[in-house]
């Protein structure tokens, strides 16, 4: 036989052997009756090694319909000593945790496998006890894969993070020379075992000398205050527990100075700090809503009446197990509930019993009959679906359903009849019979916190740590860029040397000014670059230019992150204009028609590549399993609501040897029959016994022989007592089955999400520019880490909380590369990030300073930055205000000097002074209003519209959302053909104050383009308008000016106008403020010296300017002296019909087309 023939024979033999081993593995996993023997271990491991597709192997072993978990446990139980780590444990981990299983498609299954292996009895204890020997007897690869396994287990399981055995192994690994130090450091960091006291702390931010620090419990390290207070922040449940919310003491919170830090490793300290403070911002607001709830957020007689896994919005879809809760209709002040956003999906609610003790926390999943407002009109009260987060709460809810079942059925019957025929007395009686709670809406914004908090808990390190954590500038520039880069064609395609950057050379070769050139150079030569952009200096322009240069000179992808959808749209539109088509916008809230086709959802529907077919197949399989699981849960829930029947009583009775009381003994194949030849079986006998009937004679004889309790001797009351006992046992058993099915359903649901990310990842792979809001970037963190965008550009960086920036960065992992380049563009002298809890802010003086952005923290720590120095927005007289107050070196671009003057007004900048007091008794109210200012602002706007300005050219700004509503009502009262446009953010603020926004929304829909924007200052940053009318609102005797004492807010307020700005306020109140005098006195002195403080609004007739200035202050004066925007002279122009124009002087409609 030839050598070739021998080789072929050997190959066939090996192939047959390999096929047999794979087949044996599959049989062992799928056949629950198969017996696993010690000699099968080698073949089992060989079968795993020979599986060509590791993802298919992972799916086989983790499928709940197979016996994969049992087989892994049996195989690992064959470990007999330290040498087995190499021969048994390492092969299993290497196969299931291979690089092929890292994609989102396999994430859920990989996690399930890790949990299965971790939970093998005695395995971790064995590793801890014999780890020293394991290291000596095992290869480096084995030690590394075990370390990676413990990392993933510790990220997934609280038990692993709290395990002393895992801690022991981690400490040993840290000392070992056989393992990559980065890997062991990562494990120790997750467990918070890293101790690096030699590392110096970052420089303290500059603080005012009078900063007060709240000590007390802050010095006590975290852990033990309540059931959700843990030393390791990764162990903290995101949804607060009832024990946590009931705790009245102070929580441990990290101070900005780091004086009370409990984590020595600086990276982990930063992650810990941002997680705890961000969560406290959410939970602190919840505590306030619980202790002092708004009347409209409290709902009476909440009762749990059912449960479902059905998706009411999509009958073919799947939904989590949610419980149906019905509440009484709201009986407070009259509100149009069809316009109110009560019970928003993803909001949190708390159930309180009749003594005011918190019982359960839950998340709102759905509002039943969710048409606008209709669900609130449901007969008997609104119904919502909520998801509980803890097993005990689910058990309680199931118990409530059973208790309320019969009462609810009668309750719904009554409400199905006409209102006139309802028995009110019976309704009242039924309501008192329900097991009920008071339901409080505690948060409608927690959904926006959750993605960021979840991402922080999974982060192990801080990318770009040298700059972000240690405040040290890296000596190298971003090395992915070549030394010489070419600027875009509209900048003459100039080539610049990054290692020898010359501002002068760039300025001479392009249209960039010196500050823009400096900012561009810093962005391209620093791994972390800070660019400060005062108002109107073109932050979006420079950001999009930087992105284009990076795109044109490298192969790296760029992630642009913005705080608001508006800013994100602006940036991405700039990139479209620069010719970028490989663009993806994550999230679906764009208002730009040009960007809608670039949304991730739209692209996913449009393009499905062939490589997605595996994901589609898995998706169908997972959805099918979810439907099976849903049906199982539904059947179990229905069974629990039924009376106890023999089918379910049999198991309980057999366990206690009582089933013989209902056994039928067949003789010679004959059946036992009763009256009318009715067949008698166990079910018949059990039903007879429940009805209180006596034992049949033929059964009595057999029971006398059996050694068991004779249940037929029990009295009816005793029988009922036994039935209730058995029902309770049945309920406990079925509760466990429901919990198991629910957990399986949730695992499948998580896998479904991961498969969706896998499909999206194919779309993202083609993109060069990716845009997301800060919340979107955290929500899609896993997806973005696959893309591994090397460059992150953060717009509005001064307004973005630090944790939002951290979670936008990518860590260095097996399936992703660390972010190489971070560019922060913003202005820390404008608005700081918004917080729910005032106590966490810098101005509160408590020392937490959580609203200090990463951008501001780095600048205050002395990190290099570049400032854009030329503004292109405001006329020079308006820019003088912020130049005097905040930016002394700010220059005006020549173009702003040629901006037109405001028509019909003798000056472009005015302060209209008055002494009409605000509404509100003191300075403690959260929002204020001033009817006089609202009326005057509306009249000024009306006058400006009569000068020929478009509605989009005029905006009203105010610091208080309460004033927005006052202005809206005044606008509707005095100008029938014009209405105000209020942004969604401001509407949400109004709804928090229980304001009825019907006037805003409904009236605005009818007005088309005839809308004047009315906005709070906080929700107008980054925007501009030709003419701004400002209502300062605050007017009182005691000098209380609230928000107006904050320099950042005033800076934004005074820098939105392009051509003209008219401020209405009380100068005396501003000057007398003890806290805001330093802000307003210099400004008012400037107005005064320029003659720009007036008591009434000055007007000039455009057509007859020589008539001089007329001052108007009241509605009557405006309507009398400027009825049509001009003077009181008759127009007298001859119309086409030959008649004279009947109107008074009017600057608009000079062609008399409208008049005619």
pTM of the predicted model as reported, rounded to 2 decimal places? 0.88
pLDDT at 674 over 70: no
Question: For residue range 179-200, what is the model confidence (pLDDT) as tens digits?
Answer: 777 888 889 989 988 654 443 3
Query: Distance (Å, rounded) from C-alpha 385 to C-alpha 321?
Result: 9
pLDDT at 23 over 60: yes
Question: For residue range 1124-1137, what is the model confidence (pLDDT) as tens digits?
Answer: 999 989 887 878 78
Q: DSSP label at 830? A: S
Percent of the chain clearing pLDDT 90 (strictly above): 43
The least confident of 158-162, 338-342, 788-792 is 338-342
Query: Distance (Å, rounded) from C-alpha 805 to C-alpha 794?
Result: 8
Residues whose CB is less than 8 angstroms from the CB of residue 444 and which lie 6 or more positions away in sequence, other chains included: 341, 344, 347
Question: For residue range 845-893, what is the model confidence (pLDDT) as tens digits?
Answer: 999 999 999 999 999 999 999 999 999 999 999 999 999 999 999 999 9
Among 893, 963, 902, 901, smallest CA distance to 929 is for 963
Percent of the chain clearing pLDDT 70 (strictly above): 88
Query: Distance (Å, rounded) from C-alpha 906 to C-alpha 159?
Result: 73
- Residue 428 has a pLDDT of 76
Question: For residue range 679-700, what is the model confidence (pLDDT) as tens digits?
Answer: 778 888 888 888 888 888 777 7
Sign of the C-alpha dihedral computed for residues 966, 969, 971 and 974 taken in this order: negative
Question: For residue range 755-813, what is the model confidence (pLDDT) as tens digits?
Answer: 888 878 888 888 999 999 988 888 888 888 888 889 999 999 999 999 999 999 998 87
Q: What b/e readout covers 238-265, taking b as 16+ CB neighbours within 10 angstroms?
A: bbbbbebbebeeebbbbbbbeebbebeb
pLDDT at 212 over 50: no
pLDDT at 99 over 80: yes
Mean pLDDT of 654-660: 75
pLDDT at 273 over 80: yes
Question: For residue range 38-75, what is the model confidence (pLDDT) as tens digits?
Answer: 888 888 898 899 888 899 999 999 988 889 999 999 99
pLDDT at 1020 over 70: yes
Q: Show the tokens assigned to 1015.
A: 């906005």
Highest mean pLDDT, choosing among 374-383, 389-398, 928-937: 928-937
pLDDT at 400 over 80: yes
Q: Beta-carbon neighbour count of residue 493 at 10 Å?
A: 12
Question: For residue range 300-334, what is the model confidence (pLDDT) as tens digits?
Answer: 889 898 888 888 777 777 788 899 998 887 665 55
The least confident of 844-853, 903-912, 923-932 is 923-932
- Residue 113 has a pLDDT of 94
pLDDT at 10 over 90: no
pLDDT at 1095 over 90: yes
Q: Are 243 and 209 in contact (CB under 8 A)?
A: no
Average pLDDT across the chain, whole number = 85
Instruction: HSE, CB side, 13 Å, CA atoms: give it for residue 415.
Output: 16
Q: DSSP label at 829? A: T
Q: Show the tokens assigned to 705.
A: 């022989």
Among 883, 926, 907, smallest CA distance to 294 is for 926
- Residue 201 has a pLDDT of 38
Query: Angle formed by the axes of helices 984-992 and 998-1006, to 10°?
Result: 150
Query: Distance (Å, rounded) from C-alpha 681 to C-alpha 685?
Result: 6
Mean pLDDT of 242-269: 88
Mean pLDDT of 5-28: 61
Sort strands 484-486 and 1011-1016 into parallel, antiparallel or unpaired: unpaired
Residues whose CB is less than 8 angstroms from the CB of residue 925 and which lie 6 or more positions away in sequence, other chains included: none
Burial of 399 (0-12, 13-18, 19+ CB in 10 A): middle
Chain-centroid distance, C-alpha 832:
19
Q: Are 286 and 442 in contact (CB under 8 A)?
A: yes
Sort strands 954-958 and 1025-1031 into parallel, antiparallel or unpaired: parallel
Dmax (CA) for the chain in angstroms is 125
DSSP string, 1027-1090: EEEEE-----SS---GGGG-HHHHHHHTTSEEEEEEEEE-HHHHHH-TTTHHHHHHHHHHHHHT
Element (H, E) at 116: helix 104-118
Query: Distance (Å, rounded) from C-alpha 1108 to C-alpha 1100?
Result: 6
- Residue 153 has a pLDDT of 95
Query: Distance (Å, rounded) from C-alpha 971 to C-alpha 985?
Result: 20
pLDDT at 270 over 70: yes
Phi and psi based region of residue 1019 (left: phi greater than 0; alpha: psi -120 to 50; beta: remaining): alpha
Mean pLDDT of 929-936: 96
Query: Distance (Å, rounded) from C-alpha 1006 to C-alpha 90?
Result: 69
Question: For residue range 583-608, what is the model confidence (pLDDT) as tens digits?
Answer: 999 987 788 889 989 998 888 777 65
| pLDDT greater at residue 413 or residue 374 | 413
- Residue 217 has a pLDDT of 43
Highest mean pLDDT, choosing among 85-89, 170-174, 477-481: 477-481
């Amino acid at each position: 036989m030839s050598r070739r023939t021998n080789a072929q024979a050997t190959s066939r033999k090996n192939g047959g052997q390999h096929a047999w081993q794979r087949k044996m593995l599959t049989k062992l996993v799928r056949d629950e009756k198969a017996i696993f023997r010690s000699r099968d271990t080698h073949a089992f491991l060989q079968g795993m090694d020979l599986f060509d597709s590791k993802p298919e192997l992972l799916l086989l072993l983790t499928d709940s319909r197979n016996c994969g978990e049992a087989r892994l446990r049996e195989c690992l139980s064959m470990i007999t000593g330290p040498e087995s780590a190499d021969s048994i444990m390492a092969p299993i981990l290497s196969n299931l945790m291979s690089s092929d299983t890292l994609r989102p498609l396999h994430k859920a299954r990989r996690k399930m496998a890790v949990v299965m292996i971790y939970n093998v009895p005695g395995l971790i204890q064995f590793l801890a006890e014999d780890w020293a020997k394991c290291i000596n007897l095992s290869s480096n690869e084995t030690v590394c894969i075990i370390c990676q396994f413990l990392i993933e287990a510790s990220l997934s399981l609280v038990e692993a993070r709290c395990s002393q055995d895992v801690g022991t192994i981690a400490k040993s690994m840290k000392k070992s020379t056989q393992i990559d130090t980065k890997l062991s450091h990562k494990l120790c960091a997750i467990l918070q075992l890293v101790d690096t006291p030699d590392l110096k702390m970052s420089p303290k931010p500059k603080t005012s000398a009078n900063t007060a620090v709240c000590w007390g419990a802050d010095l006590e390290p975290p852990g033990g205050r309540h059931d959700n207070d843990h030393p390791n922040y990764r162990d903290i449940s995101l949804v607060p527990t009832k024990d946590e919310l009931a705790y009245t003491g102070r929580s441990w919170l990290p101070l900005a100075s780091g004086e009370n830090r409990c984590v020595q490793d600086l990276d982990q300290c930063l992650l810990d700090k941002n997680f705890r403070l961000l969560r406290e911002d959410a939970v602190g607001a919840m505590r306030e809503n619980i202790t002092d709830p708004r009347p409209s957020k409290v709902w009476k007689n909440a009762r749990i009446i059912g449960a479902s896994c059905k998706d009411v919005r999509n009958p073919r879809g799947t939904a989590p197990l949610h419980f149906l809760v019905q509440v009484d209709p709201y009986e407070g002040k009259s509100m149009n509930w069809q316009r109110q956003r009560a019970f928003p999906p993803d909001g949190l609610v708390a159930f309180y019993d009749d003594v005011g003790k918190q019982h359960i926390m839950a998340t709102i999943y759905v509002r039943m009959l969710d048409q606008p407002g209709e669900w609130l009109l449901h007969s008997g009260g609104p119904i919502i679906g909520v998801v509980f987060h803890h097993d005990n709460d689910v058990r309680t809810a199931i118990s409530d359903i059973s208790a309320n079942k019969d009462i609810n059925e009668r309750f719904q019957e009554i409400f199905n009849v006409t209102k006139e025929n309802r028995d009110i007395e019976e309704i009242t009686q039924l309501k008192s019979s329900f097991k009920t709670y008071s339901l409080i809406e505690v948060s409608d914004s927690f959904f926006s916190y959750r993605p960021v908090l979840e991402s922080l808990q999974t982060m192990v390190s801080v990318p770009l740590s040298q700059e972000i954590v240690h405040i040290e500038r890296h000596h190298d520039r971003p090395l992915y860029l070549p030394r010489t880069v070419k600027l875009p064609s509209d900048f003459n395609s100039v080539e610049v040397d990054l290692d020898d950057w010359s501002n002068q050379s760039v300025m001479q070769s392009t249209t960039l000014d010196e500050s823009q050139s400096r900012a561009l150079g810093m962005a391209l030569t620093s791994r972390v670059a800070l660019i400060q952009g005062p108002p109107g200096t073109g932050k979006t322009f420079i950001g999009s230019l930087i992105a284009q240069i990076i795109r044109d000179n490298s192969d790296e992808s760029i992630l642009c992150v913005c705080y608001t959808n508006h800013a994100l749209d602006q940036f991405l539109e700039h990139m479209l204009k620069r010719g970028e088509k490989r663009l993806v916008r994550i999230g679906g809230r764009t208002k730009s028609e040009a960007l809608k086709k670039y949304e991730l959802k739209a692209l996913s529907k449009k393009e499905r590549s062939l490589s997605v077919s595996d994901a589609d197949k898995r998706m169908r399989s997972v959805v099918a399993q979810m439907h099976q699981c849903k049906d199982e849960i539904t059947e179990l829930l229905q069974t629990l609501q039924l009376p106890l029947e023999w089918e379910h009583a049999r198991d309980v009775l057999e366990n206690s040897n009582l089933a013989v009381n209902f056994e039928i003994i067949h003789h010679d194949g004959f059946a036992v029959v009763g009256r009318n030849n009715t067949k008698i079986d166990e079910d018949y006998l059990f039903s007879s016994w429940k009805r209180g009937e006596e034992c049949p004679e033929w059964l009595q004889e057999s029971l006398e022989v059996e050694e068991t309790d004779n249940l037929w001797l029990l009295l009816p009351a005793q029988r009922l007592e036994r039935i209730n006992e058995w029902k309770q046992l049945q309920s406990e058993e079925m509760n466990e089955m429901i919990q198991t099915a629910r957990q399986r359903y949730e695992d499948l649901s998580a896998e479904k999400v991961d498969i969706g990310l896998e499909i999206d990842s194919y779309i993202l792979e083609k993109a060069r520019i990716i845009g997301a809001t800060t919340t979107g970037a955290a929500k899609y963190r896993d997806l973005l880490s696959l893309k591994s965008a090397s460059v992150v550009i953060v717009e509005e960086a001064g307004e973005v909380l630090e944790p939002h920036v951290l979670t936008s960065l990518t860590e260095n992992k097996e399936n992703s590369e660390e972010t190489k380049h971070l560019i922060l563009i913003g202005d820390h002298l404008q608005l700081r990030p918004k917080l729910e809890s005032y106590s966490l802010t810098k101005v509160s003086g408590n020392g937490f300073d959580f609203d200090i952005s990463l951008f501001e923290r780095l600048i205050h720590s002395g990190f290099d930055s570049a400032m854009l120095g030329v503004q292109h927005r405001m006329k020079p007289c308006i820019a003088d205000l912020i130049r005097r107050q905040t930016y002394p070196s700010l220059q005006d671009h020549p173009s702003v000097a040629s901006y037109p003057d405001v028509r019909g007004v003798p000056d472009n900048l005015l302060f209209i002074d008055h002494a009409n007091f605000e509404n509100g008794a003191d300075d403690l109210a959260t929002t204020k209003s001033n009817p006089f200012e609202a009326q005057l602002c509306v009249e000024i706007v009306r006058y400006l519209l009569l000068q020929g300005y478009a509605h989009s050219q005029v905006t009203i700004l105010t610091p208080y959302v309460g004033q927005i509503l006052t202005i809206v009502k005044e606008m509707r009262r005095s100008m029938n053909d014009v209405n105000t446009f209020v942004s969604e953010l401001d509407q949400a603020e109004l709804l928090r104050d229980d304001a009825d926004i019907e006037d805003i929304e409904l009236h605005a829909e009818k007005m088309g383009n005839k809308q004047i924007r009315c906005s709070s200052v906080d929700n107008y940053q980054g925007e501009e308008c030709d003419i701004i009318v400002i209502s300062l609102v605050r007017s009182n005797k005691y000098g209380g000016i609230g928000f107006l004492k904050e320099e950042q807010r005033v800076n934004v307020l005074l820098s939105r106008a392009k051509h003209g700005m008219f401020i209405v306020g009380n100068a005396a109140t501003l000057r007398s403020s003890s806290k805001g005098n330093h802000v307003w006195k210099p400004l008012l002195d400037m107005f005064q010296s320029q003659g720009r403080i007036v008591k009434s609004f000055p007007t000039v007739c455009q057509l007859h300017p020589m008539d001089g200035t007329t001052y108007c202050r009241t509605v009557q004066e405006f309507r009398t002296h400027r009825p049509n925007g001009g003077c009181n002279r008759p127009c007298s122009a001859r119309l086409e019909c030959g008649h004279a124009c009947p109107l008074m002087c009017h600057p608009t409609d000079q062609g008399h087309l409208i008049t005619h």
